[in-house]
Amino acid sequence: MTTDTKLAPGDAAPDFALPTADGGTVSLDTYRGKRVILYFYPAAMTPGCTKQACDFRDNLGQLTAEGFVVLGVSKDKPEKLAKFAERDALTFPLLSDPDLTVHQAYGAYGAKKLYGKEVVGVIRSTFVIDGDGKVEQALYNVKATGHVASLKKKLGLS
């Protein structure tokens, strides 16, 4: 199932509760009062997704100091996310959404172009959510490489 729902700044961010790589559960509500960077990526341990995750890891100190929480979401099972986190020393929560419910709620799953063909799949997307649970930024079809630098610039952090 796909959805054409796209979020925009000012929209209420859909709440969720998802399992983590370490066996816990994270909900958006947990972070009320903090700004959250929620990013969706196609698959753990693939080259582009690894580059993007390591980029967030390498910038986590600055993002945390500026009051942001980073959460990564994929359709991978928690066991695979745990391997990904361990292999690449990822220190922010990786969340598992195997049935794509949260992906769809955020418009991060649907038709996209891949090598010139239209396919249905995970749309690499990033959302900045304010402390009141409202979307500040909704970025769809982002590039894995250079995305964190671009995001920091949009947030006035670079």
147 C-beta neighbours (distance < 10 Å), count: 20
* Side-chain half-sphere CA neighbours of 141 within 13 A: 7
The candidate with the shortest Cα–Cα distance to 32, out of 133, 106, 127, 126, is 133
- Tokens 């991978």 belong to 76
Contacts of 65 (CB under 8 A, 6+ apart): none
Could you tell me the two tokens for 33?
A: 């009062």
Residue 49: active-site member: yes
* Catalytic site residue from 49, 60, 108, 123: 49
Contacts of 102 (CB under 8 A, 6+ apart): 14, 16, 18, 73, 95
Active-site amino acid positions = 49
